[in-house]
Structure 1
Amino acid sequence: MLDGLAPRRALGAPRPRVVAAALLGGALAAWVTVGLRMRGMDAGPGSALGSMGWYLGIWVTMMAAMMLPSLTPMVLLHARVARGSARRPGASTAVFVAGYLILWTGYGILAYGLDRLVRAADLPFLAWDSGGPLVAGAAIALAGVYQLTPLKRVCLRHCRSPFHVVLHGWREGMLGALRMGVRHGATCVGCCVGLMLVLFAVGVMSITWMALVATIVFAEKVLPGGDRVSRALALVLVALGLWVALAPGSVPGLTEPAPGMQMSGMPPAPPS
C-alpha cells in the first residue's frame, strides 16, 4: 500500500490539478447556489430550517461550499495513492468525497432533529427579548471553550496531517474508499463541531457568518500556524459570546430576531 505514495500511472487516473480544480470548482458552484437560495433568509439566531427536504438540500450544499476547500489536501493525497492501488482511481476518490459529505449530512440531520425538539418544547425563555441573547452568547462561549479541549486538538492534528489516513487507515476498493471518507468526515466534525455551534447560534441562514466560519475552518486546517489560530480563536469566541449576551444589537453582522420570536420558534423558512 505504501508503494502508492510513489504510484504508477493508472488508466484514466485524473491528474492532481484536475482533482483540485474539480473540488474548488464544486465549492464555487456551491457558494453561488447557497447565495441564490438563501438570499434574504437570515432571521438571526434561531433561523427556521424549513422542511426536511429543503433543509437537507441546502445543508449539503453549504457543507460542500464550506468544507471542500479545506478538504483538498486530503483528497489530493487519496487520489495520489489511489492511482497506484485502485482499478478506477478517479471513481475511488469521488466515493471518498461522497463518504465525507455523507457524514456531514448525518450531522445535519441530528441538528435538524434537535431543532424540532426545541421548537416543540416552546420554551418561553428562548424568546429573543427574554433569555435569547444569553442562550446564544453561552453557546458561542461554549464553542470557544471547546477549542481548548483534547478532542479538538486531536481532530485538528489529524485534519492538518492527513498522512495518518494513508499510513494507518487505507482501505481498498469502493467500499473501503467510502469507509475512509466517512471516517475522515467524523474527524472533521470533531474538529468543527464548535464552529458549527457558532453558526447555528448566530443564524445558520446567514451568508456572512457562513463565510466567516468557512474562512476560519480553512485557516485552522490548511494555513501554516493553524493550530495557533485555533487556540487564539478560543478567546475570540468567548469574548464574542459575552458581546452577544450583553449587547447583541451592537454586534456587526448579527440579525436580531423580531421581539417575541424564540430562538427556535420562528415560522418555517419558505422553500425556494
Structure 2
Amino acid sequence: MAASPLELVLARDRILVVASVVGLCLLAWLFLVHLTLQMETMDGIAARMMGMQTDDSLSAFIATTMGPGAATLTDASVNFTLVTLMWAVMMIGMMLPSAAPTILLFATLERKSRQHGISGRTAAFVGGYLAIWSVYSVAAAAVQTLLSHTHLLSMQMAATSTFLAGLVFIGAGLYELTPLKDRCLTQCRSPIEWLPRHMRPGRLGALHMGMEHGIYCLGCCWVLMLLLFVGGVMNLIWVAALALLVLAQKLVPGTLVLTRITAAVLVASGIVLLVHPLLPAHLLPWQ
C-alpha cells in the first residue's frame, strides 16, 4: 500500500530531525577529539603557557587553568568561558543522543498537529534542553577551576586524590538508589506519556518544555557527570563509556535492574579506592 502524503512528509521530517541531532553530536565529538589531540601535545602547550600566549588556541586556555593561574583577571575570565564552552560541547555529545527519542516524538506530534513542515518549536525545544545543560556546564567549569587551583586535578583533568575519587564513586552510586533518580529517569524514559501532559503552545512554550525535560535529565544524570573528574575530563574512552551508560539507562528495558547494578559497581569501586591506600602492599590482590 502506497504511503499517504502525510506519512511521506512525516518520514521526511523525521530524517531531517535525525540528521540534525546526529550532525550536532558528530560536531561535538569531532571538537572533543581535536581538543584531546591538542591537549596531548603538552610540550607545545607548556611553551605557550610560559610565553603567556593565551590567545593562541582553546587548548592553551584550558592548559592555563591546569597551571598556577592566569596572569590577569581578563585572562582568568576568558579562560573560564572557554572551559565552560568545552563542557557545553561535551554535554551535547554525551546527552543529546539519549534525548533523541523525545525530540523525534515531539517533532512528529508537531507535524501531525500542524499539517505543514517542522515549525520552529522543535528547534526551541532542543534549545531549551541544551540551555539546562549549558547552565550545568558553568557549574562544572567552576568546580574544575577550583579543583585545578587546589591541585586536585592532574594535567589530564583527572582526580589526583584516590580519596576524592572514591568519595565521588560512592556518592554517584548512592544517588542511583534515590527516589529522585528514579523519578527523573522515569520521566526521561517515557516521552510518549510525558509530552502530551506537558504540551504548551507557541515557541516559548516549546522552549519551556525543552527546559523542563532538560531538568529531569539533569536530575537523572548530573552525579554521573561528576565521574568525569575521576576518569579524566578529556579521557574520551571514559567520556564515551559514561555516555553509553546514560543512553542504556534511558533506552534499555529493565532500567531498575541496570541502575541497581550501576550503583553496586560504583559503590564497590569507591570503596576499593578508599581502602587501597590503607592496605599493606602484600595484601593487595594485584601485588
**How high is the TM-score relative to the length of structure 1?**
0.76
Could you tell me which residue of structure 1 aligns to residue 257 of structure 2? Answer: 228
Letter in 2 for 1:26: L
1:70 is aligned to 98
Q: Does 1:31 align with 2:29?
A: yes
Does structure 2 conserve the Cα–Cα contact (< 8 Å) formed by 1:30 and 1:61? yes
Q: Comparing 57-66 with 101-110, which one deviates more in the overlay?
A: 57-66
Q: In the alignment, which residue of structure 2 is the partner of 1:196?
A: 225
SS of the counterpart of 1:184? helix
Question: Over residues 23-42 of structure 1, what are the superposed CA-to-partner deviations in whole Å (9 max), with x where a residue is unaligned?
Answer: 12321222122111122638
| Equivalences for residues 43-192 of structure 1 within 5 A | 50=65, 51-85=79-113, 89-117=118-146, 122=150, 126=152, 132-192=161-221
**Offset of 1:247 from its aligned partner?**
4.5
The structure with the larger Rg is: 2
Distance of 1:230 and 1:219 partners within structure 2: 10
Match of 2:283 in 1: none
CA–CA separation in structure 2 for the residues paired with 1:84 and 1:176: 18
**How far is the alpha carbon of 1:246 from its aligned partner?**
4.2
* Alignment of 1:205 onto 2:224: no
User: CA shift at 1:13, angstroms?
Assistant: 9.6
Question: Among the aligned pairs, what percent are the same residue?
Answer: 38
Deviations 1:164-219 (A, max 9, x none): 43222111111111111111111001000121121123321211110110010110
- The count of corresponding residues between Structure 1 and Structure 2 is 234
Return 5+ residue gaps in structure 1 as ranges: 1-7, 249-272
**Structure 1 counterpart of 2:259, which letter?**
S
The range that moved more, 48-57 or 93-102, is: 48-57
Higher helix share: 2
SS of the equivalent of 2:244 reads: helix
Output the CA distance in 2 between the equivalents of 1:127 and 1:196.
Answer: 16
Q: Aligned pair in 2 of structure 1 residues 68, 142: CA closer, same or farther (>3 Å)?
A: same
Tell me which of the two structures has the higher relative contact order, counting C-alpha pairs closer than 8 angstroms and 6 or more residues apart: 1
Distance 1:141 1:92 in 2: 40
- The residue type paired with residue 16 of structure 2 is V
Partner SS for 2:39: coil
- Whole-Å Cα distance in 1 between the matches of residues 203 and 153 of structure 2? 48
Q: Would the alpha carbon gap of residues 15 and 89 (structure 1) be closer, same or farther in structure 2, given more than 3 Å must change?
A: closer
Deviation digits for residues 101-154 of structure 1 (CA, Å, limit 9, x no counterpart)? 11001011122233444556x48xx588xx811111111111001000000000
TM superposition score normalised by structure 2: 0.72
